[in-house]
Structure 1
């Protein structure tokens, strides 16, 4: 292979690798990029409209998402809602944090939970550090994050 073609191939690989790191659109259709999540600890919360504890913890997750610059809450609809249905469900539950349209389970090697809600804590390097089943509070999540960040 000649040098210009190798260079072009390398450039294409780098470009496609960068795209693969993005997280897909949120409930508003805006792209959630890898760059936006750089140096962030992620709280990935699986929820459903029919889940009472999910509804109860949403105000806590909203508050937590706004509380610190190094933490991002990302929601994932358990039932796989997309597009307008996802946007309407998130609005109906007053979700202020971003909800991913693309489930990150495969990307992060997350098991499919049999119960809701479930929240996964992912460190700034993209490693899943913990999973918490059941309704969470902002205070409890912050305490767990602080312990994990000290390790």
Structure 2
């Protein structure tokens, strides 16, 4: 999949085998906007966990890039404007956060808005064993 704001291609299956949090979001999604500070803060603190954003079902990649910059996300984001991941990830809607273990398996899924930094930290500890 193509990285947001560039022509770089990222293969999710080829990522390094480290605990990873993957968050599906869109710039038009109000709950996605509400949880953005929690993702920024926790991703900055948990250096042993990789974070990846997936700009999902978003018709305005320029607006998505602007939003990602405004909220201060400094981890990679890829684009899925055609919802190619909907079936393989069983995406229930936006936002959705996936917790991928070091073996590359989905260890847990949180459908819906993250409501606090602590909730994200608790989910990361629960599913990935990292706190």
Alignment of structure 1 residues 94-109 onto 2, 5 Å = 94-102=72-80, 105=85, 109=88
| Higher Cα radius of gyration | 1
1:70 aligned to which of 30, 43, 48: 48
Q: Look up the match of 2:101.
A: 123
Aligned length: 125
Contact 1:81 1:101 (8 Å CA) reproduced: no
Distance in 2, matches of 1:92 and 1:83, equals 14
**What is the root-mean-square deviation of aligned Cα atoms in Å?**
2.9
Contact 1:122 1:129 (8 Å CA) reproduced: yes
Return the TM-score normalized by structure 2: 0.73
C-alpha spacing 1:93/1:63, structure 2 compared with 1 (3 Å): closer
Contact 2:99 2:128 (8 Å CA) reproduced: no
Contact 1:82 1:101 (8 Å CA) reproduced: no
Return the TM-score normalized by structure 1: 0.65
Q: Higher RCO, 1 or 2 (CA under 8 Å, sep at least 6)?
A: 2
Q: Which runs of 5+ in 2 are unaligned?
A: none
Looking at secondary structure, tell me which structure has more helix per residue: 1
Q: Which runs of 5+ in 1 are unaligned?
A: 1-23
